[in-house]
Structure 1
């Protein structure tokens, strides 16, 4: 072996030893329930440096509401109930809820038990044999979803659920035109991004999937005219995709009767109605699904976020039989390696059990009404800053007159131990989406903090 090759080999060995040493140090940290101040400083330093050098330095600027002096004030470390704790031991009431993930609370014990019990036996499925939990979960979804939704396809995330719904709609009718709405957010993979409305997310990736039309959310006349035009030019609508309540758009509730009228238009023109309930589903709005709030049954419903109980990434679509039949002849027309895996299915089954057993959808309605009333009361006298507070269940949006006010409110509440965040499509609005298990005492703390911060903001 040449001298050069020996040196290269030695460098490889040294690199491997260095990486292994680093890994072992990290694994030792993971074992710990609590860490020392020195360990906390090391973790914080590693987090900031590695985000900057190996993840994306943009996050350090984007998450500036949680930074202090150029360093993260909060490096998350543990969570429980309605709160999380940073590596320095500071506790925060979580009113962001992972963008709607933690409906049954952080690390719900029943969900964790179901996942760990399943892991002891089998973690992932063979891809060939029939996996029981996928079949059982599909049956449960057929029982709890509205109307005659019957067949399920499982995914790992919300954007994957939307992709599956769009492909199923195309196969059902062989039509290629979709109607979405302004302020819509359906995900960021190419198909779902085509339905998403915000130009900033879309422009770098144009052209997207052809055939998407956007109309103003809540404008049934424009929706009707778009159906008419599409038919006249031979581009009949395959489906309308809607969030029953727009989440990332700023917690926008539909006008009275709007969703029913869209349903009627779809029936009239032989088009499907897809409800994106990735954020509104699993009890968030006071019912198990927002479609039940408005008494409208879609042809396909998209689920994710809270579907995995805040423990596992999990999503699904559930469709009516005559729609899903398109995939009967060849079930491999659309697949995903990890979708519907045993751990995710165990988490989803346990999540549904908790939601039903503890009546969390009904609780969301009750606590949400109390929360909304308290926030409205706290905002009195600050109409120059607060434009509107709106919502349903524990899905509440606070809209300000200026982006800068929203930022200062978010930062002020974070400094006082409350996590909130703006919405992706409407940056003037911050969301309140805590776990459905949040206590009235915690709600009172959030309301009092909001009132205090409002009084100190001078923009």
Structure 2
């Protein structure tokens, strides 16, 4: 039934109408029981009944600046008063300001930004640019990756969700480093790095280097498990791209804008790609936005050639205002540096939990971007089953913590402005929940 003005909005009504009218993504529709949220502030959300949740999911790892940041909300309101929307073929001041700020954060050698609506179409357009620039077709990406749910982006994605969506052409996958479950029988990070790079070289050679337009890699694979690449790996990929004339695209959609304690995760590797894709943390999703940061060489290529791509809402003024306000607020409040400091606290706390709980097979991450890989048996590394993960999720939520659960992992991903007190509270909840789950599920 439709909501009318004389009905009081509450949890039950919102839930009922969601189930009646809304079709959800990645879901069996009849099995859904969505959480109802009314509003939030900073790292906290609450429902219509006043129940609060400490958000250690950042939703889809995108609310880097936290919920309802007043400076960003005010900027959106002010822009709405001046200009709510305009065609992307026009020049508008706020898009210029957003592009300038983003380019200023990128490595030297980047000059322009193509704005999109999200991360998926950012990756779509980066792939398009690489194919046009090189005159080649194939795109290589990792099996352990997620790049979005549009035509080419979902096929570039490595996880199983690509399989029912494989309509785009020219995509080839390879295994990226993951020492804990090594595909290369590696004994340490150096060996994992060397063997993963050898594997990638052989894939390039076997697929035909002259036909490969791009290698697309997340700077830190996020949805796949927050797997920080071993030292030297990204540099090795850059060297292979240079050797074979392949465009290197680094996907910073999830790892960018403070998430790893740097503006971009690629800063940890001292590597400069040819294209950088972004979304999520650039404005914490307050208004949908994403984009491609384009190196000068690729940007100049299109000075006398048509770029056959565009979006109605490319550079939407409200989205651009939220980007400008987000970047400015993060700088003014030292939020990226704060995320790095909280990363030290989180890392130490999570490793202490691993010392205490046999369920934790590995702890990995940086900044406010961490994962606990949970196992039923540390020796065999057997994954903790889905039933146990569902129990963990429900137990965390019952205790007022909103977790991010993926496969057999808890992704510990609070906003960049999380406080030390909130970190301590979350760690205590994880500790309590894991202790209770271990009784039933540890082999």
Q: Count residues with an aligned counterpart.
A: 411
Other structure's SS at 1:76 match? coil
Aligned counterparts, 1:41-56, within 5 A:
41-51=12-22
> Which portions of structure 1, spanning 4 or more consecutive aligned residues, are displaced by more than 6 angstroms?
none
How far off its partner does 1:235 sit? 4.2
Between the aligned partners of 1:59 and 1:79, the Cα distance in structure 2 is 26
> Over residues 392-414 of structure 1, what are the superposed CA-to-partner deviations in whole Å (9 max), with x where a residue is unaligned?
11001111111333322222111
> Over residues 277-336 of structure 1, what are the superposed CA-to-partner deviations in whole Å (9 max), with x where a residue is unaligned?
000000100100001011111110000011123411111110111112343335652100
Between the aligned partners of 1:147 and 1:321, the Cα distance in structure 2 is 9
Structure 2 equivalent of residue 205 of structure 1: 165
Between the aligned partners of 1:128 and 1:110, the Cα distance in structure 2 is 28
> Over residues 255-290 of structure 1, what are the superposed CA-to-partner deviations in whole Å (9 max), with x where a residue is unaligned?
111001101111111111100000000010010000
Relative distance call for 1:254 and 1:359 in structure 2 (3 A) is: same
| Contact kept? 2:374, 2:408, Cα under 8 Å | yes
Between the aligned partners of 1:419 and 1:276, the Cα distance in structure 2 is 26
| Contact kept? 2:215, 2:246, Cα under 8 Å | yes
Between the aligned partners of 2:334 and 2:29, the Cα distance in structure 1 is 37
Specify which of 61, 78, 96 is matched with residue 31 of structure 2.
61
Between the aligned partners of 2:229 and 2:367, the Cα distance in structure 1 is 14
Aligned counterparts, 1:222-261, within 5 A:
222-231=199-208, 235-261=210-236
How far off its partner does 1:127 sit? 4.1
Relative distance call for 1:430 and 1:264 in structure 2 (3 A) is: same
Structure 2 equivalent of residue 8 of structure 1: none
1:337 aligns with 2:319: no
How far off its partner does 1:449 sit? 0.5
Between the aligned partners of 1:194 and 1:46, the Cα distance in structure 2 is 33
Between the aligned partners of 1:338 and 1:432, the Cα distance in structure 2 is 32
After alignment, is 134-143 or 241-250 more displaced? 134-143
Relative distance call for 1:128 and 1:261 in structure 2 (3 A) is: closer
Between the aligned partners of 1:60 and 1:75, the Cα distance in structure 2 is 17
1:351 aligns with 2:326: yes
Between the aligned partners of 1:381 and 1:123, the Cα distance in structure 2 is 53
1:387 aligns with 2:361: yes
Structure 1 equivalent of residue 385 of structure 2: 403
How far off its partner does 1:97 sit? 0.3
Between the aligned partners of 1:418 and 1:128, the Cα distance in structure 2 is 44
Between the aligned partners of 1:327 and 1:417, the Cα distance in structure 2 is 51
| Contact kept? 2:330, 2:336, Cα under 8 Å | yes
Specify which of 76, 82, 98 is matched with residue 59 of structure 2.
98
Between the aligned partners of 1:128 and 1:186, the Cα distance in structure 2 is 27
Structure 1 equivalent of residue 404 of structure 2: 421
Structure 1 equivalent of residue 84 of structure 2: 123
Max Rg structure: 1
Structure 1 unmatched runs, 5+: 1-18, 30-34
Other structure's SS at 1:259 match? helix
| Contact kept? 2:145, 2:158, Cα under 8 Å | yes
1:216 aligns with 2:175: yes
Q: Cα RMSD (Å) of the superposition?
A: 2.0
Between the aligned partners of 1:225 and 1:189, the Cα distance in structure 2 is 29
| Contact kept? 2:354, 2:361, Cα under 8 Å | no
Other structure's SS at 1:351 match? helix
Structure 1 equivalent of residue 342 of structure 2: 367
1:453 aligns with 2:430: no
Structure 2 equivalent of residue 141 of structure 1: 102
